[in-house]
Structure 1
Amino acid sequence: MQLSLRLAAISKMVHGGNRLVDVGCDHGYLPVYLVLNKKIPSAIAMDVRKGPLLRAKEHVQQYGVSDYIELRLSDGLSALKAGEGDTLVIAGMGGPLMERILTEGKQVLDSFQELILQPQSDVCHFRHFIREQGWEIREEELILEDGKFYPMMRVTRSIEGCVPWTREEEAFGKFLLEARHPVLKLYLQRELGIRKKILEKLVDAGEGARERKAEVEEEKQLLMAALTRYESK
């Protein structure tokens, strides 16, 4: 079985030997791949929709791993009990939805050793949120696949307390900036180009667009600061 670049990157973040819980498992490719490659002993694959679970069941049976992967219909973490997994994966959802799932499932979160999270939107706010909840980001990755950027992170419970991140670090990823991640540069350049084009269109938009101009200009300055930091190393 061959995973997409996005799922392959997530699979590399999973600590070997951990029991996996995959929320929003879709086709179940990730847990099937990890079990087949003996990186994990077992998994619970969950989804809020019956359709994806049926497809996941087909793949589980196709690859002969039914004894190792349990499928559950679940809204977020509602069908999970504390202690049933070591690594929690939530990927391919909007940041606000992931925040809701983590907030509503707070009673089982402390039983996990690590969370691997891949928010699709509001990533800056999500980084701030996860660290406010007492989790620390330990590792970050950014994948470009089929024209889309996929940021992901591995987090564990913070023992020493979280050191505040700068706005640039929350917006674009502290570890991605520090590592001068090549995909991050592509992302920053693309986003900067988008902001410049928006500002050009807003030149003749009149007074009514003043607030929007200020907002886009602020985003542009943040992107330029991140690029300067990236290129100065």
Structure 2
Amino acid sequence: MNISRRLNRLADMVTEGSRLADVGTDHGYVPLCLCGQKRIQRAIAMDVNQGPLERAKAHIREAGMEGQIETRLSDGLTALRAGEADTILIAGMGGPLTIRILREGAHALPGVKELILQPQSEIGEVRRFLRENGWQIVREDILQEDGKYYPMFRAVPAEAPESCSEEEYRFGKTELQESPQVLLEFLEKRIRVNESICAGLPEGDEERIRERKREVEQELALLQKVRTCLEKRQNGGSL
């Protein structure tokens, strides 16, 4: 079936042969795609709203996949039991909601082998939460679609805690990035925005102006540092 590039990229991150729990499934497109291609055993498509779940059920019936894809009305992971899924997919939600779902769904995480996440905001806080709660990001990707950038990543249970710098929390580890050129374009755009903000700040000694300028300059420094790392990587390790 034809799905958006974003959903297709997320589906590609799911390990073949796994059992998928798709949180916030909406139309059920990712489970339908993966089951239709026989890339996963089965799936549980979950949504907090009845309307999207009914649409997913209709699509599942049309595809004749009722035996492979189960639907559940669920606020996050509340309706998922431990051991039912190898892979949990949470995409298209804000970072705080993604974190809440994982925190409140801790009962369902034992036995889960991977998390596929695509938070829409506060992405660095999601990465930080994963590290602090025993997960390690092993794949990073970013997609540009319809004028928007969508960072996404795959995390697995960590064997040991790993160190992360502030720029790695914010933008991911560059050595794991599968689309470095897209990330570079994203960074360049953010750099231009921050330079414009900095240039537009009024002169003055007011604390709020100085604080805002410090924030923008710190952001610029992180962006430029990651850009340098990516450029070095693309030039074979030397500049």
* TM-score after normalising by structure 1: 0.95
Partners of 1:115 and 1:220 in 2: CA distance: 30
Indicate the larger mover: 102-111 or 204-213: 204-213
Output one character per residue of 1:170-227: Cα deviation in whole Å (capped at 9) or x when no partner. Answer: 1111045766711100110011111111112213476242211111111011111111
Aligned length: 232
Give the equivalent residue in structure 2 for 1:100.
100
Matched, 1:141 2:159: no
Give the equivalent residue in structure 2 for 1:203.
202
Structure 1 unaligned regions, length at least 5: none
Give the equivalent residue in structure 2 for 1:109.
109
Partners of 2:29 and 2:222 in 1: CA distance: 37
Partners of 1:178 and 1:3 in 2: CA distance: 23
Output one character per residue of 1:49-76: Cα deviation in whole Å (capped at 9) or x when no partner. Answer: 1111111111111211111111111001
Q: What amino acid maps onto 1:94 in structure 2? A: G
8 A Cα contact 1:180 1:230, kept in partner: no
Give the equivalent residue in structure 2 for 1:170.
169
8 A Cα contact 1:169 1:177, kept in partner: no
1:16 positional shift? 0.8
Q: Report the RMSD for the aligned CA atoms in angstroms.
A: 1.5
Partners of 2:177 and 2:73 in 1: CA distance: 40
1:111 positional shift? 1.8
Partners of 1:23 and 1:213 in 2: CA distance: 39
Structure 1 21/178 Cα, relative in aligned 2: closer, same or farther at 3 Å? closer
Q: What amino acid maps onto 2:52 in structure 1? A: P
Give the equivalent residue in structure 2 for 1:227.
227
1:232 positional shift? 2.3
1:162 positional shift? 2.2
Structure 2 unaligned regions, length at least 5: 234-239
Partners of 2:23 and 2:114 in 1: CA distance: 14
Structure 1 156/62 Cα, relative in aligned 2: closer, same or farther at 3 Å? same
SS at match of 1:93: coil
Give the equivalent residue in structure 2 for 1:8.
8
1:121-140 → structure 2 map (5 Å cutoff) = 121-140=121-140
Structure 1 193/89 Cα, relative in aligned 2: closer, same or farther at 3 Å? same
8 A Cα contact 1:18 1:40, kept in partner: yes
Output one character per residue of 1:98-122: Cα deviation in whole Å (capped at 9) or x when no partner. Answer: 1011001111112211111111111
8 A Cα contact 1:177 1:230, kept in partner: no
Give the equivalent residue in structure 2 for 1:60.
60
8 A Cα contact 1:178 1:230, kept in partner: no
Give the equivalent residue in structure 1 for 2:237.
none
Q: What amino acid maps onto 1:198 in structure 2? A: I
* TM-score after normalising by structure 2: 0.92
SS at match of 1:22: strand
Partners of 1:83 and 1:112 in 2: CA distance: 7
Output one character per residue of 1:128-175: Cα deviation in whole Å (capped at 9) or x when no partner. Answer: 11011001111111111111111111111112x122011221111104
Output one character per residue of 1:67-90: Cα deviation in whole Å (capped at 9) or x when no partner. Answer: 111111100100111111111101
